[in-house]
Amino acid sequence: MEDGEQYSVIFVGKNRVKCILLEEESVVVQLQLSNRILAVNNKSAVIGTIVKINEAGGGACGAECKCFPTNVKPNRKYMIKRIIQKVFDCPLGSRSIVEVEPV
């Protein structure tokens, strides 16, 4: 697992084991890296396009903000893998919701 990434549990094992670190019973789980969903400028919302995510510059739209999700690292490049919603009203302007993967 990588620090800062988000994962989804896709399988929970049946056997319980004693965790020495936590001193409690634990179960083994299988994880899957969660999709990276974010909002980008409408003009950039083309499958295969490479986008660079900049630092949050204020003006974020609150708890539901998809412009700067926690599992998308600032100043890294991502490729648009899928367009989820072509038009999304956002205080930062007309945007699209897309799924991206690191390049």
| pLDDT tens for each residue of 35-74 | 888 888 888 899 999 988 776 544 445 545 677 777 787 7
Q: Which domain holds residue 13?
A: 1-34
CA 81 to chain centroid:
13
The pTM score is: 0.67
Judgement on whether residues 50 and 77 belong to the same structural domain of the protein: yes
CA distance 73 to 95: 19
pLDDT recorded at residue 90: 77
Q: What are phi and psi of 44, to 5 degrees?
A: -85, -10
Count of the separate structural domains present in the chain: 2
Judgement on whether residues 17 and 45 belong to the same structural domain of the protein: no
